[in-house]
Amino acid sequence: MIIVVASELDSDAERLAATWPRREAVLLTPRDLCTRGWTIELGRFNDGSFVAGGTKHSIREIDGAITLFSCVYEHELFGIEKSDRRYVCAELVAHLVYFLSNLPCPILGKPTPECLNGPAWRQEQWALACRASGIRTELATQAASPVASNHKMECVRTLSFIGAECVDLEDIELNERVCQVASLAGANLFQLKLRRSESGPIFHSVQLAPDLTNTHVVTAIQNYLTPKSN
């Protein structure tokens, strides 16, 4: 079983789970986190149970996972009293950090304690990693955030990094540089957006969530997570 951890309001995530080959994927949403059936004991993680798609499963059934959100949002906790939502959100995120970090299977969008689907890096940190990896950065100096002004410029190219490489990128040198960025960040799922210049591509921004409207991206995700024995 592949679990797709996402908001239930994310229709792309819902489609990803619904169209997974052999119907192997199931959506795990914040609603599932607030459902009877979760039981995990520290030190006996694999013997535990979890809830996805409204149904209780054994953790041993999980073959792979992809996380498509960085945190749980209060507005999605439909069944929780408004005054309790902030606390419950923090608890759900902390629980997911523990759960996803301990899964003994391939996972795309590896959690960190600060962010459920990757490093909680600011754009400036991504820019520094790009610069260290040989990808040019040209950022204006301005109060507080040099990257903010960069966002106003047009992004002309998006590279999707899935697992261990970029999807459909024939430029081997650029692929290696993006791999180095991924290694510095400890991330395995992100989109690197670039601007064009006469002297080559320039860093624009990074976004952790993949573009699920791109069929090549979806195929790469499925290939990475589908157990090889199948």
DSSP 58-87: EGGG--EEEE--SS--GGG-TTS-GGGHHH
Tokens matching residue 11 = 């229709």
- The helix (H) or strand (E) run that includes residue 52 is strand 49-52
122 binds another protein (CB under 8 A): yes
Output phi, psi for 148, to 5 deg.
Answer: -55, -45
- CB of 42 vs another protein, minimal distance in Å: 4
Q: Name which of 41 and 170 has its Cβ closer to another protein.
A: 41
CA end-to-end span of the chain, whole Å? 12
The mark string for 39-68 relative to another protein (x by CB under 8 A, - otherwise) is xxxxx-------x-----------------
- Whose Cβ is closer to another protein: residue 105's or residue 128's? 128
Q: 35 burial class (0-12, 13-18, 19+ CB within 10 angstroms)?
A: middle
Span near another protein by CB under 8 A; candidates 4-12, 20-28, 91-99, 166-174: 91-99
What is each CA distance from 65 to 187, 204, 222, 225, in whole angstroms? 14, 28, 10, 7
Residue 101 tokens read as 């970090």
Q: Output the smallest distance, CB 122 to another protein, in A.
A: 5
CB of 12 to another protein, least distance (A): 26
Residue 154 lies near another protein (rule: CB under 8 A): no
Residue 3 is given by DSSP the state: E
Q: Please report whether residue 34 would count as binding another protein according to CB under 8 A.
A: yes
Least separation in angstroms between residue 97's CB and another protein is: 4
**Does 35 sit near another protein (CB under 8 A)?**
yes
The one among 47, 114, 168, 171 contacting another protein by CB under 8 A: 114
Among positions 146, 155, 165, 219, the unique one binding another protein when judged by CB under 8 A: 146
- Of 42 and 172, which has the nearer Cβ to another protein? 42
Is position 127 an interface residue for another protein (rule: CB under 8 A)?
yes
Instruction: Tokens 């409207």: give the residue.
Output: 213
Tokens found for residue 128: 């520094």
According to DSSP, the residues that pair with 55 across neighbouring strands are: 52
215, exposed or middle or buried, with CB in 10 Å at 0-12, 13-18, 19+?
A: exposed
Among 3, 6, 68, 93, binds another protein (CB under 8 A): 93
11 binds another protein (CB under 8 A): no
In the complex, which residues of this chain contact another protein (CB under 8 A)? 33-43, 51, 79-80, 87-88, 90-95, 97-98, 101-102, 112-114, 119-120, 122, 124-125, 127-128, 131, 137, 139-146
